Structure 1
């Protein structure tokens, strides 16, 4: 089983470049499942709208994970309960709309997708480690499990990888938008990367207009951020999983740059 996991899609440029790359490369990659982090995919670069979710589905994405910008587009709050393809962090408080995991059929197998959010420098949510443990306890019959660990620090994301080694197929770090060069398969068979990167304008700062961010950093005055313009990059990982055990057998970074 091959899984393509696409990094945080940023704004309309990221959406359009995702559509472009998938149209060209999906036949070559031949993934059995395509997952993307969509928490920055709205035109503003903050949140996910139902319309943008549908555009990502049409492009070939099958499941979407979220993060700290989950509720930045108000229309998603009511919509998310109707769409099992969207997964928000499982360690949000009880009663939060949506779901923290979903199970989907792939090639006759069940695949469990879990989304959790870290707490270091990012949130005061419930413990993401215990949240994943509780979900896994309720799905002991599922061998193929992908975890999106949406967190600020590489240490917390790597800690989740070691915590889950041998119990899940892959732990994919998201949120910081910079693809790390530490992809590996941990000793008990879990694929790990501390950040998969982003899809969006490469000459901005994490996909946002660099001039506005620089003004804020230089002046410490409030500044409204906006999605950058210019050529984009597409960051993802391809993960091959054993059909029977769900253990990872390969993980490969993908980074495609748009012509200037």
Structure 2
């Protein structure tokens, strides 16, 4: 199976890039299932129902959220009626929506998608993500009812993301990090067969400070004082993420490639290859 994961969509620039490029990438790379993290798609904080509908219409089979899952209040109700949107499993005990679900991919194959929040350096304490992941992965072993599974670990610390990767190694097809908006250069297949990247990066304008216009963040760094609100940058966006091929029989990853498409980081993308896999 060919899986595509795209990192945190950042504001209007990220949404526009998804709308314009995701349909082309799905066709060119023959993607069977695509997951997009959309938690910063609406003005950099949360996701509105209308913007969620746009990302789904562009070709996302599933949207994951994060610690900003309900910054846009309409999502509290919308997530209950839209099964293609997931919030983190360990967000809060009584949070609406679900943190994992099995979806249908091409040819009737099944894909488990789940998301958890980390605990290290986060703004508020979240419950243990490892126990939640263990419960779900035990109930959905690879090679059983699901042909592939993907874990979105949304947190600050790369060490915690790597810990989750090794914890899930051999039990998930893909473990990929989100939240920090900066792509890491460690895409790999772990010893047990799980594709891993500590952070997928964002889908947004990289001529920015993690997707925000530079002036206000720089003012706060330099002077320690604020003058205005953070505003998402609106320059050409790079789609950043991970492309993974899996074995349908075992669910293990057989190939992993970083995705850098368009915008300022396009030159850092995978080298040109054959068989419709990611190209620059």
- Interval of TM-score (by shorter of Structure 1 and Structure 2): over 0.9
What RMSD, in angstroms, separates the aligned Cα atoms of the two structures?
1.4
Name the counterpart of 1:132.
133
TM-score computed with the length of structure 2 as normaliser? 0.89
Deviation for aligned residue 1:139: 2.5
Q: Matched residues in 2 for 1:201 and 1:93: separation?
A: 31
How many corresponding residue pairs? Answer: 259
Task: State the shift of 1:256 in Å.
Answer: 1.8
| Equivalent-residue separation in structure 1 for 2:182 and 2:31 (angstroms) | 23
Q: CA-to-partner distance for each residue in 1:189-215, whole Å, 9 max, x for gaps?
A: 000000011111110111101101011
- 2:131 match: secondary structure: helix
8 Å contact 2:202–2:240 — kept in the other structure? yes
- 2:115 aligned with 1:115: yes
Shift of 1:20: 1.5
Matches within 5 A, 1:1-260: 1-42=1-42, 44-106=43-105, 107-122=107-122, 123-140=124-141, 141=144, 142-222=146-226, 223-258=228-263
DSSP 3-state at the match of 2:204: strand
Give the TM-score of the pair, scaled to structure 1: 0.96
**SS across alignment from 2:238:** strand
Q: Which runs of 4+ in 1 moved over 6 A?
A: none
2:108, 2:249 → 1: CA distance? 11
**How far, CA to CA, are the matches of 2:139 and 2:242 in structure 1?**
27
* Secondary structure of the structure 1 residue equivalent to 2:22: helix
Structure 2 unaligned blocks of 5 or more: 266-280
Say which SS state the counterpart of residue 232 (structure 1) adopts: coil
Structure whose residues are more often strand by fraction:
1
Match of 2:270 in 1: none
Closer/same/farther in 2, CA of residues 259 and 182 from structure 1, 3 Å limit: closer
Deviation at 1:259, TM superposition (A): 7.2
- In the alignment, the residues of structure 2 paired with residue 134 and residue 170 of structure 1 have an alpha-carbon distance, to the nearest angstrom, of 17
SS of the residue corresponding to residue 196 of structure 1 reads coil
Distance 2:194 2:239 in 1: 24
> Cα offset for 1:94?
1.7
Contact 2:67 2:91 (8 Å CA) reproduced: no
Structure 2 contact 205–263 (Cα < 8 Å) conserved: no
